[in-house]
Amino acid sequence: MTVIVGLVHRKRVHLAGDSAGSDDYRLTICRDPKVFTSGPYVLGFTSSFRMGQLLHYALEPPHPEGDLYRFMATTFVNAVRNCLKDGGWARKESEQEQAGTFLVGIHGRLFAIHGDYQVAEPADAYAAVGCGDEYALGALHATADLGMRPRKRLGAALRAADHHSGAVAAPYTYVKTAD
């Protein structure tokens, strides 16, 4: 359905996403942004526009404190879980909660939140999620040492995914943290 790309550059997190909404053989270009800011956070989602709407408009992200990774894996994820449950979107199967996948940037660090609420922080300082993630990751890797500005790198990653995936399409949206 999409590709969301993110990278860390000079203590700022930059995210970008496409505008495709897809279901099997149908593709719709959506106005809903898949990347957005929420307080000091930047977020970018895949999986479901409903999940993205809840993250964008209903989530009240807690203020980060203490060890940031621990905070993200506990306090932040618990706020997301409650938001998705309250919004009627979270699923529970075999006594395990399931959600969707999204990227989060805060205080110069990039995190991927996966469907089982696992929090991952990439060592490469870039990440991609969605059906076009492998193409985007290849482009991010290939441009890592070229001295390109963040928006150009993200644009290259989006265009690579757009070129090779039938479920990724322009226009593209960009956001960055204020840190």
Whether 48 contacts 7, CB under 8 Å: no
Model pLDDT, residue 148: 97
Domain that holds residue 54: 3-176
What CATH number did the domain enclosing 122 receive? 3.60.20.10
The dihedrals phi and psi of 134, each to the nearest 5 degrees, come to -65, -40
Query: What is the domain count for the chain?
Result: 1
- Cα 55 to Cα 112: distance, rounded to the nearest angstrom: 14
Structure tokens, 75? 């306090």
The dihedrals phi and psi of 165, each to the nearest 5 degrees, come to -120, 135
pLDDT for residue 93 is more than 90: no
Per-residue pLDDT tens digits for 100-158: 999 999 999 999 999 999 999 999 999 999 999 999 999 999 999 999 999 999 999 99
pTM: 0.95
